[in-house]
Amino acid sequence: MFVLVLAASWTSNAIAPLQGVSQTTAQDSPTDKYLGDTGGVVFEVSKEDLLKSKDYRSLVELMDLGGNFKRQFGFSIGETRHFAGSVSGPDDAFLKLVLQSSRDIDPLAFMRANGWVRGKQLPETRSFRDQTYYEINRGTEKIGVFQPTDQSVVVNRIEVIEEMVRGRKPEQELLRSKDWLGLEDFQLKFAIGDRLFEQWREEYQRFNSGRSSSDPILDLVGPINEKIVRACGGLKLDGQLNLRISLFAKTPSAAGQIKTSLEALVQIGETMLGPDQAELIEGVSDPEMQKITREGMAFLDDLIESLEFKRLGRELRITARADAKSFVRNVLPDSIQAARKAAQRTQSMNNMKQLGLSMHNYHDTHKGFPPAVLIGPKGHRHSWRIAVLPYLGEMELYEQYRLDEPWDSPNNQKVMNRMPEVFRHPTEPDGSVNTRYLAFVGPKSPFSAPDGFRFSDLTDGSSNTIMFFSGATQVPWTKPEDIEYDPEQEIPLKDGPFEKGFNAVFFDGSVQFIPSETGWEKLHLLIQGNDGQPVER
């Protein structure tokens, strides 16, 4: 349970859980000075040597998959020197962060990358004795961002940041414990304090009181929830992956009861999962994923077989180890490829959702959608992608574009070279000015209307009509060119960068994957918005 809570804290902010950073001690690390825990959850990643080992380069690549970390924070995992965070508890799930990089961090770019400020918006700037910090209003919360040095950034509630700049250290219950300090040589460390365990006990008691029948697994979980007061642990990678978790009970006898319950749970898990592994592996149709599943299960088996439970007074220490290098060599390359495809597919869908929303906002303002081709005051043709720029937070770029000049005039080429990321497919390299997000243009397609069209024109329904799609064809994003559509001919579509189909945005704003085996007759019905033959998806 405590591992799941920690994972939820990471994923909620799109942060990978393992990053290499400089070797530091608790006394001189930024964590010690700028992060509090107050009995909730705290985690810290340390040791730059993880990045230096060639055995774990693929692991580092997986952590920075698709450049998401760099987009989020403005620097790559390889440039990260220190990374830590904390959550106070269920009633305060705001994630506090301490980040340190080997390069200067632009605080404004950092805040924009995280969506805390948008466009030309600027945060409230405050200062105290020549120290500058920023205040951001996010709903009912006020976030503070503080740069103690050019290469570090601290995120916390504004009142805590104000105390920091005045020289007061945040409250640290877990970070100062001898158990946390005993994990100094672990690359990933975490600790969970009494506030969370109290909350879990209350939730379990409410749940358990409503049960009408006995459950052997829940009956074993009960003593664990009732008797743990805090926990800490870590991961260490050398030739092996070494796991250590310490559970602290109220009394030595309570630690013994936790040990008995956990050993029984492991035995039940082995009994339930063991015979089904082969069937589960064979049930994975994709050969690449089947290999990942097989190797992953073998790695997990090694960890489970090596599990040891040792009671040390009120502490129950759990250790496990497995061959990390073999796992990295045999599993990660395939995992990286599979995860990269999944990340790119997700990013592409997010791009398309943003573009679809910009079209809706355009419609709300102009009482109609833009035509595929806009005609400028001097008769020059321009793309619908230019028309939606103001609704993507790109008004400045829109104002630099000259509608009275050709789309590829010297001035407009400067705009083309500043393509917003939302138009760039994630499979395209940085610097590319081509887009794969194209509409169908031709008779009976919605975009054939020279003056635009309205929702009311989509008599087949907005959820049954394609707005635009992402396929194999790509064009310069400002070029007034899309896919020529003929309702009497087979649709000339090929698989895009993703195999077995392509993504499409429908006029209701949803993004759907269209399989390659979809017949072109059905595609015609999805493209035509008022043919009287709506197709249920």
- What Å distances lie between residue 219 and 3, 58, 146, 222, CA to CA? 20, 41, 47, 5
Percent of the chain with pLDDT over 90: 24
d(CA 282, CA 294): 9
Phi, psi of 362 (to 5 degrees): -60, -45
Q: Within 10 Å of residue 310's Cβ, how many Cβ atoms?
A: 11
d(CA 385, CA 482): 11
Query: What is the DSSP annotation of 376-388?
Result: -TTS-EEEHHHHT
- In which band, very low, low, confident or very high, does the pLDDT at 29 lie, cut at 50, 70 and 90? low
For the segment 249-278, the average pLDDT, to the nearest whole number, is 83
d(CA 97, CA 476): 39
d(CA 376, CA 389): 16
What contacts 10, CB < 8 A, 6 or more positions away? 16, 17, 43
Q: How many helices (H) and strands (E) does the chain have?
A: 19, 20
Residue for token pair 């007074």: 313
d(CA 264, CA 244): 19
What is the structure's pLDDT at 172? Answer: 87
Residue 228 corresponds to which amino acid? Answer: I
For the segment 129-156, the average pLDDT, to the nearest whole number, is 87
CA distance between the termini of the chain: 38
CA 30 vs. chain centroid, Å, equals 25
SS3 call for 32:
helix
d(CA 514, CA 503): 6
| Beta carbons of 505 and 468 less than 8 angstroms apart | yes
Question: Going by DSSP bridges, is the β-strand pair 440-441/483-484 parallel, antiparallel, or unpaired?
Answer: parallel
- Give the CA dihedral 338, 342, 344, 349, nearest 10 degrees: 160
Torsion sign over Cα 370, 376, 381, 383: negative
What contacts 166, CB < 8 A, 6 or more positions away? 128
Of 307, 449, 318, 333, nearest to 384 by C-alpha is 449
For the segment 440-467, the average pLDDT, to the nearest whole number, is 81
Range picked from 28-42, 94-108, 193-207, 252-266 for highest mean pLDDT:
252-266
286/202: higher pLDDT: 202
- pLDDT surpassing 80 at residue 474: yes
- In which band, very low, low, confident or very high, does the pLDDT at 441 lie, cut at 50, 70 and 90? confident
| Beta carbons of 441 and 502 less than 8 angstroms apart | no
3-state helix, strand, coil in the chain (%, to 5): 40, 25, 35
What contacts 35, CB < 8 A, 6 or more positions away? 42, 84, 85, 86, 96, 98, 154, 170, 172, 175
Q: Specify the range with the lowest mean pLDDT, choosing from 115-124, 350-359, 480-489.
A: 115-124
| Beta carbons of 190 and 43 less than 8 angstroms apart | yes
460/4: higher pLDDT: 460
The pTM (predicted TM-score) of the whole model is 0.61
Q: Within 10 Å of residue 399's Cβ, how many Cβ atoms?
A: 11
pLDDT digits (tens, 9 = 90+) for 54-78: 655 656 665 555 555 666 666 676 6
What is the structure's pLDDT at 15? Answer: 28
d(CA 509, CA 67): 26
Strands in 511-515's sheet, in edge-to-edge order, are 434-438, 466-476, 501-506, 511-515
What contacts 479, CB < 8 A, 6 or more positions away? 383, 407, 408
Range picked from 5-19, 299-313, 499-513 for highest mean pLDDT:
299-313
